[in-house]
Every structure is written in C-alpha cells, then in structure tokens.
Amino acid sequence: MAVVFEKSKALTDVPFHYCPGCTHGIVHRLVAEVLEELGVTGQTVGVASVGCSVFSYNYFNCDMVQAAHGRAPAVATGLKRAIPENVVFTYQGDGDLAAIGMAETVHAATRGENITVIFINNAIYGMTGGQMAPTSLPGQITQTTPYGRDTDAAGHPIRVCEMLSTLSGTALAQRVTVDSVKNVNIAKKAIKKGFENQINKRGYSIIEVVSTCPTNWGLSPDEAMNWLRDNMLPYYPLGVYKDVTEGGNE
Amino acid sequence: MAEKVLMKGNEALAEAAIQCGCKHYFGYPITPQTEIAAYMSKRLPKEGGVFLQAESEVAAINMVLGATAAGVRSMTSSSSPGVSLKSEGVSYIAGSDLPALIINVQRGGPGLGGIQPSQSDYWQATKALGHGDFQLFVLAPSTIQEMVDFVPLAYEVGEKYRVPSMILSDGMLGQMMEPVEFPTKKDDAIAEKPWAANGHQNKREKNVINSLYIDPETLENLVKERYERYELIKENEQRAEEFMMEDAEYVVVAFGASSRVARSAIMQARAEGIKAGMIRPITLWPFPNKTIEKSIDSTKKYLCVEMNMGQMVDDVRLVVSGRKPVEFFGRTGGVIPTPAEVLGQIRALAGKEM
C-alpha cells in the first residue's frame, strides 16, 4: 500500500507529553520536517530549554543538549563555535527567551551567532503552572497577576521580533502562528529559512511562533485558538521584521 | 628540557591551556584574572581557535558547557565574584557529567570584596560551587610552574572521570612572574568522547547531554553512580607535597600562596631548632586525607595557615579527629600573612614564645 503520510524521521517514537490544544506538537513537527528536508538531522544539535519544551530532547531525533533556564543561546554559542559545520538550534519559550535569558538572547543576536532560534510565545509560563510571562498581555489573568497584568506595576509585554530586528547580527526575525493550514505553511517556510540562513552562515535567525496554552489559559483547545486570534495577534502582529535575504541587505 | 621563560602566572596558565589543545575560551573581564582573557584574545585567533568575550559570567560558563558538550577542550576563568555567577552553570556541567576547566583567581570577599589575593573561596570550590550533590576536582597551585603543570592534569582527570575541574589560584599567583617551562605538547592525550553531542551523522544513536531526571529513583541512582566515581577520585587522585616532614613535630598545613609564606617561616623555625614541617595540599578536593593521616602519630600540633578566616582547617580537623590539636592562623580581605607572623605562630605552637 502506498504511504501517503508518515511522521518525520527527525522525530523519535516517544509520545509527546504536551496538553491537548497546545501548539508545541505542531511546531516540533515543522522543525523535524525541515531538518529532514534539508538532510541535516545527522549533523544537527538541538538545545532544549527549561519550560514545557524541556523534554524536546526526547522527541527530536538529533543530538540534544539541555540548557539551564535562559541559557540556551549561550550553550548554542558554545556548541556552534566548537562545531561550526554542524547545525545548531534552540527551542525556547517566552519565559526562557525573553525574561531570564534576555541577555543571552540579545547578545547571541547582536553577535550574529550563526544559530536558529525557535521561540514559542504563548504569553504564560506553562511548566510551572501559569505565571505571568514577559509576553503576558496587559490585563491578562495569570497565577501571579490574579487581578490581570497591571502594566503600572508589572510592566509591558515585550515584542521580541521587533526588538531583535534592530540588531545588526539578526538575519531573520519573523513572527508566525500555527492556527490554520495557511499559517502552518507560512510557519514552516519561515523555519526552513531560519535553518537555511544558518547553513549559508547569515547569522542569527529567530522564528517567533505565537502559540497556545489552553491548560494555563483555562480554555478549551478551540477557545484557546480563538483567544490567540482575538488577543495575541493584535498585540503581536504576524510578519517579517527583518530578513537579510530581502532588499539586498545580505 | 624546554627553555625556561619568565611569565606572569595568569599568562602562563593561559599558554598552558592552549598547549593542551584548548582552542575555545569564553570569559568576562574581572580583576585579578583579566590577563588570562587578554592573553587568549591575542593567541587563540592565531591558533585557529575561538576567543569570545561573553555578555556575562553566566553566559560564559554556559558557552563552556556547550563547547565541552560538543567534545572540545574549552575553558573559562574568573575571579571570586564572577565565579559565584558561574555556579549555576558549574552545577549543570557536573549534573550532565561533562568535564570542563574553570579557573578562579581568588580575590577578597564577600560581595565585591577587594582585588587583592585571597583564599576565601576554599569552601565554595570544595563544598558548594552550585546546587545539588556534586564535587569538582580542585587543584591549588603554589608556583607559576604549577599554574602550567596543573592545566593538563585538570583536563586529564576531568575527562577521565567526567567531572568539572577547577584550578584555584589567587591574585598573587595570577599577577607574579616566575621562570616556567612548558611540557612537550601532547594533544593526543585528549580522551575520546563518544558521548559528545556533535551530530550523530546517522551512524550512531543520538546523544543527549542532560541533567534533568523527573523520576526520583532514577536521579538518585545517577547521583550514586557519580559518587562512585568520586570515591575513585578520592582513592587515586589525592596529591600533597610534604616539606621537611621527616622528623616534623609541628606541622603547618597550607596551600597555594599562603604555603609560600609558610615555607619561609618553617625554614626560619628550623634555624631556631624547632622541628617544623609542612603538608601542602595540592588537590583541595579530593582533600589529601592520606597524607594528613600518616603524619598524625609523629605530629605534636598542627597549624593551618590560610588567607581566609579558617576554611581548610575544617578538613584538617575532620582527618585529625581530635587526636592532636589543630590551630589556625589566617589573614583575610586581601592581606597576605608575613613570614614573621607565621614564624611567631610556629614558635607559640612549639611553646617558644619570644
């Protein structure tokens, strides 16, 4: 019988632990498909970060290193500088990338560190049970903002792609989401471009995926997708914020 | 024999690391270790290596984690406050069973402390450089030649047992100059690293470098396995120098810079007819229990001389276990004890107040 669909060989057979309606699974699949299509699974080292995706070292079928909270860009820097011909990517959540690891993120980007960063922005801390993230929206209720995020007291959400797009070392800063077939296809193309940039030594590429966390948002999977569209996308507009392969900037 | 060259401690150590095949240095400026970074920034690019000035000590140690995970020899260096920042990464390195070389050129503390030499990070290096049950292999040089010789030793022991290694130096050894000779290059001594995360090339199972184990029994078993390696290190890797110990009755225990002062004081005490000697721990972890133990019967009293408020003295007292008196003399805050001060302490020990 003809095989019409099979799981990417860049994923292991370990079942994902992610909650129903969480978009980690889709993004894992996209990353794995890109690694497979580019034929680089065997030369790739992934860096898992602290948060729900920490167990991604069990799921990706490449060599993996688990980093301390926020330190994935530094670990990836050490890896990439040691084995520059290999492919190195980090897979980080919003707390990891934009709170505790912001210094590592900004400096990896400004050095033009030749790595690919997959950034999951779901506006909340998942693993620890739903606390405010640096990307939590104004007014958003979380475990540590029980009356809603008060921007006077808790500050404003960070728009990471916009900020990193100002840095000379950034090759690609693109925000995508995976709420529809169309958007999943756009996300995959962006992820592929992020890895191609690395192979072509163009510098730091970040693909921010606006994502869901139904469990900690207190919503059903379906409601979560709608909440993402209604609340997150207006604050975090999708699009390409920097792309050195466009406009002769390369 | 190689030719002797006059070099500053920090630079000699850096050159030794390069000659050991360390091609990747990650660091952050802090006095009094900055010469290591400066030397690396000058030499490594010409050796086809990588010098990277990190955004923080925290980032630097995690870059070391990444490079060592990829299977190459790398290092970072700092001084006391910076080493505190590295503690998270050191714990992860230990928990991931990775070797790594960390240099601490100690200065006075706590807090920002001072910039003069100190030994007040003994506890940090030997007991708790980070959270969790783990140890580092810790070497304490007392000469610039040892700053050179201990680099290959730190790499080899670290790689053999898969533990992080530290060279616990201080601002005096880092800044002073002495003639040194470099051993013949032996890059081929670098152990194979089948565990490295450097791409499986579809030829082997994937490697995972990790310190997370959710199941308590799994984690306990891994920690226990690591402690079995620690027992081997304690058995095989203790090192200490014995100075004038043949007939010593009054034994000074001192390491690193303070052992240099103690050595002068002991020679003066001998000239006065006091049977003084010294045990100089070279490995601070594993602590050289065996050398202390075999001295206990013939020793009347011990004196620990340290540039802190009394840290190593705990380990000496643990071995001596009340069988003989163990006294302590220390200066701290960046003050180096004088030979006259230490001689006074030895005389008091021997009951010969002057």
- For A35-86, the pLDDT digits (tens) are 999 999 999 999 999 999 999 999 999 999 999 999 999 999 999 999 999 9
Query: Which CATH number is associated with domain A24-243?
Result: 3.40.50.970
Q: Do both B225 and B255 map to the same domain?
A: no
The residue among B141, B139, B137 whose CA lies nearest residue B159 is B137
Q: Is the dihedral of CA A144, A148, A150, A151 positive or negative?
A: positive
Q: Do both B24 and B149 map to the same domain?
A: yes
The pair of structure tokens assigned to A72 is 């994935």
The residue among B22, B53, B12, B290 whose CA lies nearest residue B159 is B22
DSSP states of B244-294 as a string? S-TT-SEEEE--HHHHHHHHHHHHHHHHTT--EEEEEESEEES--HHHHHH
Q: Do both B55 and B146 map to the same domain?
A: yes
A42, A62 contact by CB (below 8 A) = yes
Chain A, nearest residue to B211 by Cα: A66
* pLDDT of A217 higher than 70: yes
The pair of structure tokens assigned to B291 is 């050398």
> Average pLDDT, stretch A131-158?
97
The answer, for B310 touching chain A at a CB cutoff of 8 Å, is no
Beta strands in A94-196 (DSSP E): 116-121, 170-177
B158, B22 contact by CB (below 8 A) = no
Domain tally, chain B: 2
Residues of the domain holding B276 = 240-349
Chain segment B209-259, per-residue pLDDT in tens: 999 999 999 999 999 999 999 999 999 999 999 999 999 999 999 999 999
Q: Do both B165 and B94 map to the same domain?
A: yes
Q: Which residue has the tokens 């506006």?
A: A123
**Which B residues in the span 37-96 are in contact with A, Cβ-Cβ below 8 Å?**
50, 52, 54-56, 58-60, 62-72, 74, 88-89, 92, 96
CB contact under 8 A, A82 and B203: no
Assigned domain for B202 exists: no
Q: Do both B147 and B67 map to the same domain?
A: yes
> Which amino acid, residue A21?
G
Q: Do both B287 and B142 map to the same domain?
A: no
CB contact under 8 A, B74 and A67: no
Tell me the C-alpha distance between A241 and A174, whole Å. Answer: 6
Q: Do both B214 and B259 map to the same domain?
A: no
Q: Do both B273 and B183 map to the same domain?
A: no
ipTM score over 0.90, yes or no: yes
Q: Is the peptide bond before B110 cis (omega within 30 degrees of 0)?
A: yes
Chain segment B83-124, per-residue pLDDT in tens: 999 999 999 999 999 999 999 999 999 999 999 999 999 999
> Per 3-state DSSP, what percentage of chain A is helix, strand, and coil (rounded to 5)?
40, 20, 40
Chain B contact set for A77 (CB, 8 A): 52, 59, 63, 66
Chain B, nearest residue to A110 by Cα: B55
* pLDDT of A250 higher than 50: no
pLDDT at B352: 79
Task: Return the minimum-mean-pLDDT range out of A4-8, A218-222, A223-227, B50-54.
Answer: A4-8
Q: Do both B229 and B246 map to the same domain?
A: no
To test the contact with chain A by mutation, choose from B23, B52, B210 the residue with the greatest count of A C-beta atoms within 10 A, namely B210
Tell me the C-alpha distance between B139 and B168, whole Å. Answer: 6
Residue B35: its H or E element: helix B34-43
B101, B161 contact by CB (below 8 A) = no
